[in-house]
Structure 1
Amino acid sequence: MSNKKVFAGLAAVTGVSIFLLHNCHFNWQSHHRRYESAVRGKQTEVVFLKTHKTAGTTVQNILFRFADRHSVRVALPGGVCSYQNHQFCYPRPFSRLFVHPLTRPPSMVASHLRPGLSELRRLAPPNATFITIVREPAAMFESLFAYYGQLSASFRNAPNRSISAFLRRPASYYRPGERFAMFARNSLIFDLGGDPNRDPGDEAYLRGFIRDLESVFSLVMVAEHFDESLVLLRRLLAWEPEDITYVRLNARGQASRTRLTTEEAEQARRWSWLDTGLYRHFNASLWSKLQTLGPQCLQRELGLLRQANRRVARDCFGAAGSGPPPALQASQIQDRELRPWQPGGVSILGYELPRNLSLPPALAASCLRYITPEVSYSRHLLVKAATRLRPKRRDRESLKNGPEMRERD
């Protein structure tokens, strides 16, 4: 199926709304009347297409916490890909068979998947708001190389597994058919359902792909302007500032980072030229929306978000001033459920609640959700879905057995 047909199919599902922002007020336009009524309160039907190494895990945690608080059903991996407990059989094209039966039909989707798309159309709520996130390609490539350096055959082909060596002659080491090759070139395009191996300079393909994305996604966030993106997300979903508070997740320690030279960064952008064009377009699009919002309104919104984040850092972690909670090496975290996954040779930082901070149980449980890694949070939501289902099953059994029991009496 062509990308154009795929995204056209999704466009028919999402009922994408275009929002107009002016003087800190906003109006909603929709292709469907029923969507207009759905957003009078907080929007709970959301599909987040999570991309790799773009701050997507932090966005996912925001959505998971919202769903957790409001008892919104989240689609979770299971079924035929139960071996992957945090993504839908990625990188295979998405199928409803990848979704755990206890979480169907969902109101929200937020785990890794590769669009595949008649199936996603059948799974997604009819009025869902589609969002995703992109990141500057050179910074993203450095993160991908570090994170998947021991997993991607293309990265391992480079001498001494060196990012500098790879970028000098990327075509010599990249093999499209090899394991985890999708992380070695145009990862954004691949994650969004496109072809990462188009001939350089195929601008018609890139323009068409961007048009198709714009027909589906109400908002494309930008990792480098994370708070500004969250301002637009909050207004798009009619949420409160407290709904978009966050603690930065899945970050690497300094020892696992490589500073690219100016030349290497440019080599990375040329190599992933589709991602570069995609990023430049949606970065400009984000700032166009923010300009429409207006500088005074934007600053007021950013102030509300950052004030709310400071309250979380203070109340949950005892953080002084405006700083975030202190990140820890995985070996320093005693609670195994709070330890983020550690890819080979990379240090991923995590958090614990301070032991010297006495928190009421309800607040402690809420604070823990900010720092629960993706895999652990997915398990928690699945257990919660199973728990919700048990009373319904008992009620059905009671109704079925009731008359029979009365006859025996």
Structure 2
Amino acid sequence: MSQKKIFLVLVAVSTVSLLLHLNWTMLAFSLGCFSLPLSVAAPGKPKHTSVAFLKTHKTASSTVQNILFRFAERHNLTVALPVPSCGHLFCYPHMFSGCFVHPHTVPPDILASHTRLNVGQMRRLMPNDTRYVTILREPAAMFESQFSYFMQVCQSFQRVPNGSLEEFLRHPTLYYRAEENDSMYARNMVAFDLGGDKDHQPAGDSEYVQGFVARIESVFSLVMIAEHFDESLVLLRRLLNWEPEDVLYLKLNMRKEESRLTLHGPMPAQIRAWNWLDSALYDHFNATLWRQLEQLGRPCVERELRLMRRMRKSLVRECFGEDTLPLLSNSQIRNKDLRPWQPSSKVAIVGYDLPVNGSGGQAKDMCVKMVMPELQYSRLLLKSQMIRYRRTHPHALTPKNGS
């Protein structure tokens, strides 16, 4: 690309960012939020660029990851990515280790791929001022999702006659085997991801819960809640001093309605009892989230939410040419780079396709990245970062576990 073209692209990006910022600032001022730090990034304070996101399973974490990936690209940051032998995960379900990180993606600014929490290893890898963030989801809804999503890889689920969630919940100990390598998908999965003992006995041990909660609070600056995603983004944006456009998103990795199971009767309570540790974590950090929002002032938070949703509506119109998001099955998505991974023939993950005659240039790239699934985006980032690494380290040898 010629220097003139590069200059024009930079001007376009700066102009779009400035317009979005000014638009947000004017709207915030008109609603009386300008004087509060929620309305715009704190003036004179730089954006925080060191973030470790513990990507939990089936919690809207892919959407958060996409926000972080796009922020990293826009600000020329380095994203820690797994070595090829780990796939797109940091060798999950192993505890995180620095040896799982591709050497061409260090030292990183952002970490956002699936792993199991290992605080010591992460702190050795990440900058000292890193903000640690994770996300939880209501246990009944999450377990229904993981039961169908992980059916093909979890032996505890495969033993259940006719793949019945209702039957599993009636007699979970008949089908569950704690010693199996894939058993984390079948009990207290979030607690496992956060480094806890998914099979701790006795169930409901309040002393263990208190100690576990205290450890999480000592590590994480923010625990987001999937059911209150936008409210969580208000807190995330404040924590990192980001602009509103930095946290714009479209929902990713969603199942088709036909793939969802209906919870009825005692099933939600049974799920919570079986996943007692996940339930205790969720209840604690959901209450924490709302205390944090109350401290910020609910009227201004509500105004910011309305503005955020207005901006997202404009984004949808810009990317798709209409106000309603068209969710498509894999076969309907023409661009293979935008087709989400399908866990099985029984679970359909929907995605997006962009109109052929849609936005062009920088706006089109933004739209593509916003709907790009995790696997494709991870590969794209790894490729670009390897090129950058080789350009800045021309005499470095390619590692054996590199590609």
For this structure pair, what is the TM-score category when the shorter chain's length is used for normalisation? 0.7 to 0.9
Secondary structure of the corresponding residue to residue 167 of structure 1: helix
Q: Which amino acid aligns with 2:79?
A: V
Query: Which of these residues, 107, 124, 127, is aligned with residue 125 of structure 1?
Result: 127
Which range moved further: 381-390 or 367-376?
381-390
The 1:393–1:198 alpha-carbon spacing in structure 2 relative to 1, beyond 3 Å, is closer
How many Å apart are 1:161 and its aligned residue?
A: 1.4
Unpaired segments ≥5 residues, structure 1: 1-21, 27-38, 398-409
CA RMSD of aligned residues (A): 1.8
Query: Which of these residues, 87, 96, 99, is aligned with residue 97 of structure 1?
Result: 99
The yes-or-no answer on 1:68 pairing with 2:73 is: yes
Structure 2 counterparts to residues 3-402 of structure 1, below 5 A: 24-25=36-37, 40-78=45-83, 82-199=84-201, 200-320=203-323, 323=324, 325-344=325-344, 345-355=346-356, 357-394=357-394
Contact 2:54 2:113 in 1 (8 A): yes
Contact 2:51 2:132 in 1 (8 A): yes
Q: Which amino acid aligns with 2:330?
A: A
Cα distance in 1, alignment partners of residues 215 and 351 from structure 2? 37
How many Å apart are 1:300 and its aligned residue?
A: 1.6
Cα distance in 1, alignment partners of residues 156 and 336 from structure 2? 32
How many Å apart are 1:319 and its aligned residue?
A: 2.2
Cα distance in 1, alignment partners of residues 336 and 358 from structure 2? 21
Contact 1:88 1:112 in 2 (8 A): yes
Q: Which amino acid aligns with 1:379?
A: R
How many Å apart are 1:84 and its aligned residue?
A: 3.3
Cα distance in 2, alignment partners of residues 305 and 262 from structure 1? 37
How many Å apart are 1:390 and its aligned residue?
A: 3.4
Q: Could you tell me the TM-score, scaled by structure 1's length? A: 0.85
Residue deviations 1:221-276, cap 9 Å, x none? 00000000001101110001100000100000011000101410110000000011
The 1:371–1:392 alpha-carbon spacing in structure 2 relative to 1, beyond 3 Å, is same
Q: Which amino acid aligns with 2:45?
A: R
Residue deviations 1:345-367, cap 9 Å, x none? 21000111012x33222211111
Cα distance in 1, alignment partners of residues 182 and 347 from structure 2? 17
Contact 1:24 1:294 in 2 (8 A): no
How many Å apart are 1:304 and its aligned residue?
A: 2.1
Contact 2:321 2:358 in 1 (8 A): no
Cα distance in 2, alignment partners of residues 138 and 259 from structure 1? 11
Contact 2:320 2:358 in 1 (8 A): no
Secondary structure of the corresponding residue to residue 47 of structure 1: strand
Secondary structure of the corresponding residue to residue 134 of structure 2: strand
Cα distance in 1, alignment partners of residues 358 and 343 from structure 2? 33
How many Å apart are 1:387 and its aligned residue?
A: 2.2
How many residues align? The count is 358
Contact 1:23 1:293 in 2 (8 A): no
Cα distance in 2, alignment partners of residues 385 and 311 from structure 1? 31
Contact 1:85 1:378 in 2 (8 A): no
Cα distance in 2, alignment partners of residues 178 and 319 from structure 1? 48
Q: Which amino acid aligns with 1:148?
A: F
Contact 1:49 1:110 in 2 (8 A): yes
How many Å apart are 1:23 and its aligned residue?
A: 7.4
Cα distance in 2, alignment partners of residues 262 and 131 from structure 1? 34
Contact 1:85 1:375 in 2 (8 A): no
Q: Which amino acid aligns with 1:47?
A: A
Cα distance in 1, alignment partners of residues 343 and 159 from structure 2? 18
Q: Which amino acid aligns with 2:353?
A: E
Q: Which amino acid aligns with 1:384?
A: S
How many Å apart are 1:124 and its aligned residue?
A: 1.4
Cα distance in 2, alignment partners of residues 134 and 317 from structure 1? 30
Residue deviations 1:59-110, cap 9 Å, x none? 00000000011111000011xxx13331100001111110001101101100
Contact 1:47 1:130 in 2 (8 A): yes
- Aligned sequence identity (%): 51
Secondary structure of the corresponding residue to residue 83 of structure 1: helix
Cα distance in 1, alignment partners of residues 153 and 241 from structure 2? 40
Contact 1:23 1:294 in 2 (8 A): no
Contact 1:188 1:275 in 2 (8 A): yes
Secondary structure of the corresponding residue to residue 349 of structure 2: coil
Q: Which amino acid aligns with 1:52?
A: H
How many Å apart are 1:148 and its aligned residue?
A: 0.3
Residue deviations 1:313-341, cap 9 Å, x none? 01011122xx4x21100111122211111
